Amino acid sequence: MAEKTTTPEELLSKHRRVFEGDRTLWIIFAVLIVVSILVVYSSTAKMAYDITSDLSTTESLRQQIMLVIFAVMIVFVVHKINYTAMRFITPTFYWLFVLLTAATYFTGDTTNGAARWIALGPFLFQPSEALKVFTIMMLARRMEKRQKEIDRIPLLPTSWRLRDPKQRKILRENTWPLLGPIFISCVVILPAHTSSAIIVFLISVIMLFIGRVSLREVAKLIGITIAAGVLLLGVMSIAGVGRGDTASGRFSQWIEFWTTDGKHEAVYEFSDTERAMIAIHEGGLFGSGAGHSSSRAVIIHPESDFAYAFFTSEYGVVAALVLMLLYLWITFRAIEICRRCTRAFPTLMTAGLGLLITCQALIHILVQVYILPETGQNLPLISRGGSSLLCTALAFGLILSVSRSNDLEALTESKNQNDE
């Protein structure tokens, strides 16, 4: 009688844990969502004194806890799904969120002059947050198919004679499949959120480099994109289209801060970032204590755009540095997971998603001390905002899914070696 073969799933069940995959990432995720509850509850205490707000501190806390519960559920469910299934559905969800992001400019809700949200009952959903995740997955999927020749193919046409059959072939077989998702995502995100479009482009370029695209082709892409981006933002600013005027205004304010000796007589004359810097300074090494910071009354949006500055004011610079290191650790763990992958898609997807979380966090942190102009980027998993929290949870779940699959392959290989 033939010996019964043990399937990988049966083998894994013998070593199964409730929370599988990289344990360090699970710990980081748990720490960040706990910090999220503390920051949102403490920072929104000012709502009790805001007669224009319909949201109390208790209601804000209740909403954040519900979002955290949903985020944990997303991570748990997604990390149990084999990443190959996510690879299969990627094109469908990518085009869905492209359409939804574009639709927000015509039917979406507008806040602070930007139309970014679609109302789903009482919940406002920002489809561009999900689009960032699926752009990375789409690019990873397209690059996987070309790994055998990707280091030799031209990414962009080699001549301006685009009617030449050779150039048209390059456009059809290389440029559009690889750069099309990046271009489309950046175009639909740019009018409402310039910094998000820049993040998508930068991470995509890094993925192209990791995926063995020629450095010359990557450099050519960067040069052309910078020229086109500056021209486009200039046109948008002059025409008053989208957020071009806002982006240029923030950049001008940032330049003015570093080139002039500005003095203010009243707190209302300070910019949002200057108030955040004051809050960080007042926090000192160990902070004023949870719930004791007075900066919530000074900082604009301490629960979202300036969550890191508010966290520093309450818990101090030491805790803030630890928090920053946790975000950096996410990318290091993602790199370690990538090293164990045997296929291109999970490798590129994990690297891209890890960079997405870490880069967004670092940009948020650098804005707090005015190293970068104001961007409106949330602090992943901590800032108040359902779309960002849930989509970051999706990214975490996908990374953990790859880690879980790596563990499964390692167990299978170990069993096969023992059988031999």
**How far apart are alpha carbons 56 and 75 in whole angstroms?**
29
The whole-number mean pLDDT for each consecutive block of 10 residues of the chain, a chain of 420 residues, reads 51 65 94 91 66 63 88 94 92 95 77 63 82 96 91 85 85 91 92 86 94 90 85 67 60 70 59 80 82 74 84 92 96 94 94 96 91 86 88 96 89 67
- Report the predicted TM-score, pTM, of the whole model to 2 decimal places: 0.88
Q: Which residues contact 66 (CB under 8 A, 6 or more apart)?
A: none
Give the residues across from 109 on adjacent strands. Answer: 117
At residue 277, φ and ψ (nearest 5 deg) are -65, -35
| Angle, helix 386-419 to helix 127-144, in steps of 10 degrees | 30
**How far apart are alpha carbons 71 and 394 in whole angstroms?**
8
Give the residues across from 325 on adjacent strands. Answer: none
pLDDT, position 167: 86
* Beta pairing class for 114-120 and 123-125: antiparallel
Summarised one tens digit per residue, pLDDT across range 356-383 is 999 999 999 998 888 888 887 889 999 8
Token representation of residue 136: 């990375």
Token representation of residue 414: 């170990």
pLDDT, position 51: 46
Decide if 330 contacts 306 (C-beta within 8 A). Answer: no
Element at 147 (helix H, strand E)? none
pLDDT, position 1: 41
Q: Which residues contact 362 (CB under 8 A, 6 or more apart)?
A: 324, 327, 328
